[in-house]
Structure 1
Amino acid sequence: MGFRLPRIVTSKQSLQRSSSTGNGESPKAVDVPKGYFTVYVGEEQKKRFVIPLSYLNQPSFQDLLSQSEEEFGYNHPMGGITIPCSEDCFLDVTERLNES
């Protein structure tokens, strides 16, 4: 059973990639604007992305979250949601979501 969230962002707003602090610590939550959340993506080296909450009700993004649950359960080593796919795959999915 899924849940629906109102569309928060327009298609012109795009995915934001934020930088990490470089010392292994996560940037503070204040880096994340209201209506967005962070995920970590990558197979070897993880990159932090700030994405809109509206992605949560999209089937293609829910598939990525299912992969994350299968691999990590609720124990995410980065402290946030870690999605176990390549950065290119993630960017392809989010690009399609931005177009819709």
Structure 2
Amino acid sequence: MGIRLAGSLAKQILRRSSKSFDVPKGFLAVYVGETEKKRYMVPVSYLNKPVFQDFLSKAEEEFGFDHPMGGLTIPCREDTFIQVTSSLSRS
């Protein structure tokens, strides 16, 4: 079960994720991987999807939302992230 992000929290995530690097409008930079972190761009529309909100909850628990690399780190395996985001893009 996902949590609903308050508007100000979503804005805070977006503002922090796009500070250091060029991030296209409408996207969010995230880092995924267990040892080596790979950078992915995901549409901000994913923020309202329950499965993606589960990722965000795990990220907040483990890292908080302040990430020095300029994006949000999601604590999961890369193949899991790809599988989930691929299913979101098809729906």
Deviations 1:48-71 (A, max 9, x none): 001111000000000001110111
Deviation at 1:87, TM superposition (A): 0.3
From 31, 35, 38, give the equivalent of 1:40.
Answer: 31
The residue aligned with 1:66 is: 57
C-alpha spacing 1:78/1:68, structure 2 compared with 1 (3 Å)? same
The residue aligned with 1:2 is: 4
Alignment of 1:68-87 (within 5 A): 68-87=59-78
From 91, 95, 99, give the equivalent of 2:86.
Answer: 95
Task: State the structure with more CA Rg.
Answer: 1
Deviation at 1:3, TM superposition (A): 5.2
When the two structures are superposed, what TM-score results if normalisation uses the length of structure 2?
0.74
**Is the partner of 2:39 in helix, strand or coil?**
strand
C-alpha spacing 1:75/1:34, structure 2 compared with 1 (3 Å)? closer
Segments of structure 1 that go 5 or more residues without pairing to the other structure are 6-27
Whether the aligned pair in 1 keeps the contact of 2:4 and 2:53 (CA below 8 Å) is: no
RMSD: 2.2
Distance of 2:26 and 2:66 partners within structure 1: 24
Whether the aligned pair in 2 keeps the contact of 1:4 and 1:57 (CA below 8 Å) is: no
When the two structures are superposed, what TM-score results if normalisation uses the length of structure 1?
0.68
State the 4+ residue runs in structure 1 displaced beyond 6 angstroms.
Answer: none
More helix by share: 2
Matched residue pairs, number? 77
